[in-house]
Amino acid sequence: MTFVPAPDPVGFRRLDPIRARDAGPGTRPPTPLLVTATATTDRDTGRIATAGGIASAVAHGALILWLLLGGRIFQPAHAPAVAAVSVSVLTTAEFAALTAPQPAPPPDPPQAAPPPAEADPAPALPPRPADLDPPADLARQPMPTALPEDRFRPDPPPEQITSDPPPDRRPQRRPDPPRPDETPNDQPRRTQPRQAAPAPQAATGQPAPAVAAASPGQIDRLKAKWGAEIRQRVQRRTRAARGMSGEVAMLLVVDRSGALISVGVARSSGNPRLDAMALRAVRAAGRFPPAPAGLTDASYSLSLPISFVR
């Protein structure tokens, strides 16, 4: 019976197989024994470490070379050139001089107008032909005399025949018969002119009695009465304001005849619309009642309150 020996692993030493005859008949040959070779294992480990160190050194060297020279090797042949930019530092005075507005360029001097071109001389006219001259016999004939003016006068218009106006057919009024109570003696009395009425005392030269001057208290009462009449007339011209109410004090200047001289707002109501309505009401009132007899000044100033109710 033949046995195939097992492969020799690294670090192990193979022993020769034991033949069957050495163990005796009928006995299975023993399994080959593996013996560890300590010396061989340490040597192989050193070799492996050395090979790994060399490989690592080669890899690191290649990486360093690629980092140093890889950009130049793989750089494109026609790389765009980098534009250089120059930077200069300016002082405040230089910056102000650069940013200052530039003066406007001087205007161009006015160009002289070109001299006018000389006009071409007018061509000489040809001589007048002799056949256009009037004959001598026509020039010697006398001019016709002026026609008489009567020839141009228009003919007179034909006379219009007017018919007589128709007679008035209205019945004439008969005179009233004399009344029986009238007597002939009354007629001379009516024909006598009336005697002139006696002249008034002013015509005889006697002065009219002067009106006594009113006291300050009477003047105030007369002004209050006159102002109430004017206020009543103005108040009738005011219209009801929708949603608004207030009172406007108006200052009026009125002459003695009742004519309005000027008007203004003495105290506003706080609403411009009510103030405008009060001014319109005063102007629409027209002429006011004349001043009472006791007020002798040419004009008076009156302060009148104008009320507006919703």
pLDDT 10s digits, 38-51 = 445 667 787 888 88
Q: In 3-105, which ranges are E strands? A: 12-13, 35-36
Domain boundary, last residue among 42, 65, 88: 65
- Please give the pLDDT value at position 94: 81
Residue 152: inside a domain: no
**237 CB burial (10 A radius; 0-12, 13-18, 19+):** middle
**Segments forming the whole domain that contains residue 298:** 216-308
Enumerate residue ranges in the chain where pLDDT < 70.
1-42, 70-87, 90, 114-124, 126-213, 240-241
Residue 112: inside a domain: no
How many structural domains does the chain have? 2
Residue 41: inside a domain: yes
Task: Give the global pTM.
Answer: 0.32
Domain boundary, last residue among 65, 88, 108: 65
Residue 195: inside a domain: no
- Please give the pLDDT value at position 173: 63
- Please give the pLDDT value at position 244: 82
Domain boundary, last residue among 37, 65, 93: 65
CATH number at residue 232: 3.30.1150.10
Residue 180: inside a domain: no
HSE value, Cβ hemisphere, 13 Å, CA-based, for 281: 27
Residue 12 CA: distances (Å) to CA of 6, 38, 49, 51? 11, 9, 20, 22
Residue 227: inside a domain: yes
Residue 185: inside a domain: no
- Please give the pLDDT value at position 255: 92
**Residues near 234 by Cβ (< 8 Å), separated by ≥ 6?**
250, 281, 282, 285, 304, 306
SS3 208: coil
- Please give the pLDDT value at position 265: 92
The answer to whether the CB of 44 falls within 8 A of the CB of 11 is yes
Which residues pair with residue 249 across a beta bridge? 267, 305
